[in-house]
Structure 1
Amino acid sequence: MSHHNQPATEWADRHRRALTTRHTHEDVLTDREFELLLEACSTLTEPHDFEARFICLIAGRLGLQAGEIAHFQTAWVNWNRRTSRIPQHEPCRCGYCKRQARQEATHNDDLSVEDIVASRWHPKTVASARLIPFDLSLRLELCVECFANRYDAFPRSRSTINRRVQAAASAADLPGHVYPHCLRATAASYHAYKGVAPVPLQALMVWSDLATAQKYIRISGTATADALRRVHHR
């Protein structure tokens, strides 16, 4: 009897977890909240103010992941094409990459820590290697230019990226959860609202499933409302 009830019980457990698990798209910032976050960056001390603004802009408008920001280099920028290249591989010996290498080595007897470090840094997936235009707004362009004037490479760790975002969110007194990955989701929502089609949105955000892009386009209800108003109020 219990054997027959097991699949139903497992389904019920998964359903309860799905109802209680918080998803990143639930923490997407509105345009107003995002502007307040950027304004709050300027209240932080130097150089935290610029670092926080750079993180918030390229995560919240270009969709970069925290690991990509932590390893961002001026050499990735093509100034003629106004694009930034996320490479398939970039040599790195930062503390984060070393820790990840040690952890990976414990599960692979055929590779040493040095062997694994030699293959880092790399983005989350192979598909994450991509070109990203940063001339979507003058604000973005100027931010990337200011970064290049200051740094050859982003000078902080992934944990510091989290702290910068949290400090800006606290200064902005924003409700809810604000963290680097929710900024990435904010970028997806922003582009969906602007009318970016599912396939290019998927390419920008390097999602493996097109349905994820369609979800962000679907939940961008404001875009639907605006489209209806344009038809009925002309």
Structure 2
Amino acid sequence: MSSALVRHASADAPSRDEFKRLLRAAGLADTPGRRVEDRFICHASGRLTLRSGELIHFHEGWVDRDRKIIKIPGLDDCSCRYCRERVQELAETHDDVDAEDALEVYWQPKYEASIRAIPYGYSERSIEIVETFVDEVGHLDVAQSTINRRVNTLQERASLDRLYPHALRAAAAFYWAEQGMEAHYLQALMGWEDMRVAVAYIQATGNQLADRINQLASTDTEEDHTVTDAAELPDPTAAVYDATDGTNPRSGPEPEYLHDDEESQHPPTIEETQSSTLDDFASA
């Protein structure tokens, strides 16, 4: 599909205020159990970076309460509805596949980089949402379509225009990028294979660049000094351009390029050095 036709999840990521509305909307479900589930879906995707497939397969064995970490495994003994259905299909079409044995190693995360440890103990609310879900529900045991419907319901209750699970994950990426998380940490947290995705999110927020500019400017003691005394102004006779030949005495000689081929005789254009954008990573 043409990149022009791909809508990146970052375009639909809820803002911080919208995410708060989603959490409040999750508390409006009809039953206590459903409220616990919806809050977990919202928080686990929108702050803890879990993909839909990870949500579906999440269970108590992934949680280290002592260290306050969710561990996404490389292989998992899974008996969720999705895996049972897939394994049953394999067993029916392959004589050498035993359904019970296959379930023990069937589920795998999306990428190798998706095998990761996700800290959830950074706030009391995060701990409460995760551990209440583990204690009262344990695991979702639903299909992908059910996750989609749950998120759509939250979208309607929160009066948002557009929302789906991957957009919630994009909200998590923006949140941690805005908090100042460096690219290699953001890549690890999100489970991305390509660090350029993390860099693109960080660049999109602009926060790290602004912080760095402020940091550098704070060391320049002359930055805020404004000349008001005529005696401090430069000599107007010291013209920038030589009146006799029109040259600029402040400029140096033309740079000499080392390569012989004509195409390399010029510096790269802006287009040639342009960094990756989020649109380049629509499926990350």
Q: Would the TM-score normalized by the shorter structure come out above 0.5?
A: yes
Does 2:57 correspond to 1:71?
yes
Partner-residue secondary structure (3-state), 2:193: coil
Match of 2:137 among 146, 151, 175: 151
Match of 2:222 in 1: none
| Among 143, 149, 163, the residue aligned to 1:163 | 149
Count of paired positions:
217
Within 5 Å, give how 1:45-194 maps onto structure 2.
45-46=30-31, 47-101=33-87, 112=97, 114=99, 116-176=102-162, 178-194=163-179
Q: Which amino acid aligns with 1:67?
A: G
1:152-181: CA deviations, max 9, x gaps?
Answer: 3334333222211111111111012x1111
**Structure 1, unpaired ranges of 5+:** 1-13
Closer/same/farther in 2, CA of residues 23 and 111 from structure 1, 3 Å limit: farther
1:90-140 per-position Cα deviation (integer Å, ceiling 9, x unaligned): 21233311343466689x968536364442122122332211100122211
Deviation at 1:143, TM superposition (A): 0.6
Under a length normalisation based on structure 1, what TM-score does the superposition of the two structures give?
0.81
Specify every segment of 5 or more residues in structure 2 that has no aligned partner in the other structure, as ranges: 219-284
Distance 1:139 1:232, change over 3 A: farther
Q: Which amino acid aligns with 2:133?
A: F
Do 1:59 and 1:183's aligned partners in 2 also have CA atoms closer than 8 Å? yes
- SS of the residue corresponding to residue 117 of structure 2 reads strand
Larger gyration radius, structure 1 or structure 2 = 2
Deviations 1:198-222 (A, max 9, x none): 0011011111111000000011135
Structure-2 separation of matches of 1:58 and 1:227: 31
Q: CA deviation at 1:34?
A: 0.7
Identity within the alignment, %: 37
TM-score w.r.t. the length of structure 2 is 0.68
Aligned to 1:3: none
Q: Would you identify which runs of 4 or more consecutive aligned residues in structure 1 move more than 4 Å?
A: 102-106, 108-111, 222-233
Mapped contact 2:90–2:97 kept (Cα < 8 A): no
Structure number with greater CO (CA < 8 Å, separation at least 6) is 1
Output the CA distance in 2 between the equivalents of 1:145 and 1:112. Answer: 36
Cα distance in 2 for partners of 1:230, 1:39 equals 37
Cα distance in 2 for residues equivalent to 1:123 and 1:219: 27
How many Å separate the matches in 2 of 1:224 and 1:48? Answer: 41
Change (3 A) 1:43 1:215: same
Question: 1:196 maps to which residue?
Answer: 181
Aligned partner letter, 2:200: K
DSSP 3-state at the match of 1:132: strand
1:208-227 to structure 2, matched below 5 A, reads 208-221=193-206, 224=209
1:35 aligns with 2:20: yes
Partner of 2:274: none
**For 2:25 and 2:207, how far apart are their aligned partners in 1?**
26
Task: Give deviations 1:170-198, integer Å, cap 9, x for gaps.
Answer: 1111012x111111111111100100000
